Structure 1
């Protein structure tokens, strides 16, 4: 039986004027490039289309992310990678905020130090550093009325040994315990996608996003007016193809198939 492909729900240009690409689960899993992904990116490069790589990864600074992908054979450039960490730093600066940060130590140099007299809390994926003491400090600040900014609220991600819990569980727990609603900065927040479009100088309907996360990649992109192609790699689950409300513009096996579908 042939694999299902959803009919387009938005008009997919052939080819589009720009391509937005998720990283983990689309190009790679952990330290391993997914089969065919390196060659597919080379093919996409030859088309001349402008690219943006969008990632909610908040454990590693952007330079580390780029170096890791280059070691796998991917041709990425610093100006093409938009991370939730950099988006958060930009938002904090724009609003003149003085955050208390609960983030992974590896991004401390990129995001900056906590303020001793904070006016907000900023949460990233602290991984093993989500200790009770660290979370309780955040809890107490939120109970004092400070707003909560979360770099992302992803549920899980794919590592080489299987699915792993992501920071969304901690965001939800803090919201539940404090009655606070977090403002999400990375995907699926509409401004995150709109920033990429503005940098590229293209309209939403003239771009396309390739991702493995039905809600944060595809749903977020479509909310911003961007068609979305879902790949059956990374955090993709079979039930994603039967979701009641989010319908990808196309579902394909992997990144190589997504590039082929663009007819570039």
Structure 2
């Protein structure tokens, strides 16, 4: 699929930002910043704040996307959750009514609210980066709460 694209590192039309883990450096962010200031668009796979690695909590790309947006005074195009288009594509591809779909996730804002904004049910799982205080402070009400994914059996069978 990559051969369908023309890669232009000198004057790119867009910078696509995904997960780089420890590959994010000040130098890399400065290079991206300069391309954006020169007119490139910023496309972000998502804007998650953090994720969990074997070493514990780690910054995800969201803080880097936000920093770049602030620096160039322009919004990124977010193509993943919680962008409604992400969910609408799934609804269309699956040819299922949104009310017959449930998004299961551990992020109250990205997974659950993103789904609910598209009339998809949101099931919050208390694993991964689930944070009871965060859930309470958002006011977002999941359609169901699961202790683990194994609890799906109880929900549907």
The TM-score normalised by the length of structure 2 is 0.89
1:240 and 2:134 matched = yes
Q: Distance in 1 between matches of 2:89 and 2:153?
A: 23
Q: Which residue of 2 aligns with 1:150?
A: 44
- Please give the residue correspondences for 1:126-141 in structure 2 after superposition, counting only pairs within 5 Å: 126-141=20-35
SS of the aligned residue for 1:243 comes to helix
SS of the aligned residue for 1:148 comes to strand
Greater relative contact order, per chain length (Cα 8 Å cut-off, separation 6+): 1
Size of the aligned set, in residue pairs, is 156
CA distance change for structure 1 residues 168 and 146 in 2, over 3 Å: closer, same or farther? Answer: same
1:115 and 2:13 matched = no
Q: CA RMSD in A?
A: 2.1
1:208 and 2:102 matched = yes
Q: Distance in 2 between matches of 1:209 and 1:259?
A: 15
SS of the aligned residue for 1:177 comes to helix
SS of the aligned residue for 1:220 comes to helix
Q: Distance in 2 between matches of 1:112 and 1:192?
A: 22
Tell me if the contact between 1:210 and 1:258 (Cα under 8 Å) persists in the aligned partners.
no
CA distance change for structure 1 residues 242 and 110 in 2, over 3 Å: closer, same or farther? Answer: farther
Q: Deviations over 1:43-98 (max 9, x none)?
A: xxxxxxxxxxxxxxxxxxxxxxxxxxxxxxxxxxxxxxxxxxxxxx8xxxxxxxxx
Q: Distance in 2 between matches of 1:114 and 1:133?
A: 21
CA distance change for structure 1 residues 110 and 249 in 2, over 3 Å: closer, same or farther? Answer: farther
Tell me if the contact between 1:142 and 1:180 (Cα under 8 Å) persists in the aligned partners.
no
1:124 and 2:22 matched = no
Q: Distance in 1 between matches of 2:152 and 2:127?
A: 11
Given candidates 73, 88, 99, the residue that maps to 1:194 is: 88
Q: Distance in 2 between matches of 1:110 and 1:213?
A: 35
Q: Distance in 2 between matches of 1:112 and 1:184?
A: 20
Structure 1: 5+ residue stretches without partners: 1-88, 90-108
